[in-house]
Amino acid sequence: MVDATLSLEQLADANQQLADQSPERILRWAIAEFFPQLTMATAFGPEGNCIIHLLAGLEPRVRIFNLETGYQFQETLELRERIKDRYGIEVEYVRAEMSVPEYEEEHGGPLYRIAPDQCCYDRKVVPLRQALVGHRAWISAIRKDQTADRARADVVQWDSKFNLVKVNPLLNWTKKDVWKFIATHDVPYNPLHDQGYPSIGCWPCTRAVANGEDDRSGRWSGTAKRECGLHVLEHQDGSGI
Ligand code: SF4
């Protein structure tokens, strides 16, 4: 058993059965299998908002949280309020132990330029790890076509980095599918997407992209970094790739 009741073989079977199913069907399975020990992390991206819309209809009590690094755009923080107004779902803020002023004082200034991996680790990965304690599964909004690592993910998989099951209901959706769903259901989204920001993280590490540029090229622009470390697969030895 990797989970309290599921073996790796059972997870592989579930993945096989759900691999080509709709996000709604995948979420229904996850709720039946894991709720209330089921949670979701969201950065209020368009994909995550589609999942919140679905969860509002299926099981609005699923705990949803946002990693509030202290460096998020004002538009992102306001989106949390718009989601609360629309769905009655209050996305919980999960924060690092130190506030931004404390953190920057400790390190003699911000780390996002000189050591973004450490900054992401301290302000996202560590709080995420703590937030996942007590849960058997978490829902993420990754899509296969976003990065090479994400292309290798499964709809249902064991997350050895955080030691729980990871459910990726939108894995097979394209960007077009996401925006079609948003338009059809009038799902709230971040206004920055209409201003050239296809992928939005913290403001110091996100820039608008030009036409034809990769969607994630505006994240940690000028560096090789493309992930904050939450969705990076691990080698057998546990090192992130
Ligand atoms: S995205 Fe940038 S500011 Fe946000 S946690 Fe990572 S390095 Fe820090």
Q: What is the pLDDT of residues 71-88, one digit of tens each?
A: 999 999 999 999 999 999
Tokens standing for residue 100? 């931004």
**Cα gap 91→84, rounded to integer Å:** 7
Query: Among 68, 124, 203, 223, which is best to mutate for testing ligand 1, by the most ligand atoms less than 8 A from CB?
Result: 124
Q: Which of 168, 171, 178 is nearest to 199 (CA)?
A: 178
Query: Among 98, 117, 123, which is best to mutate for testing ligand 1, by the most ligand atoms less than 8 A from CB?
Result: 123
What pLDDT score does 154 carry?
95
Which atom of ligand 1 is nearest the CA belonging to 117? 7
Q: What is the pLDDT of residues 196-216, one digit of tens each?
A: 998 899 999 998 887 777 777
**Cα gap 63→225, rounded to integer Å:** 29
C-alpha distances out from residue 58 to 28, 53, 103, 107, Å: 7, 9, 39, 44
**% of the chain at pLDDT higher than 70:** 90
What pLDDT score does 198 carry?
87
Label residue 241 by pLDDT band (50, 70, 90).
very low
Quote the Cα angle for 188-152-40, to 5°: 35
Tokens standing for residue 155? 């709809």
Mean pLDDT of 22-29: 98
Q: What is the pLDDT of residues 144-156, one digit of tens each?
A: 988 888 889 999 9
Whether 47 shows a pLDDT value over 70: the answer reads yes
C-alpha distances out from residue 61 to 160, 168, 174, Å: 26, 19, 27
| Atom 4 (ligand 1) nearest CA | 202
Any atom of ligand 1 within 6 Å of the Cβ of 123: yes
Q: What is the pLDDT of residues 49-59, one digit of tens each?
A: 999 999 999 99
Higher pLDDT, 241 or 34: 34
Any atom of ligand 1 within 6 Å of the Cβ of 124: yes
Any atom of ligand 1 within 6 Å of the Cβ of 67: no
Q: What is the mean pLDDT of the chain?
A: 90
What pLDDT score does 30 carry?
98
Whether 235 shows a pLDDT value over 70: the answer reads no
Any atom of ligand 1 within 6 Å of the Cβ of 62: no
Whether 114 shows a pLDDT value over 70: the answer reads yes
Any atom of ligand 1 within 6 Å of the Cβ of 228: yes
- In the residue annotation, 50 being an active-site residue is answered as no
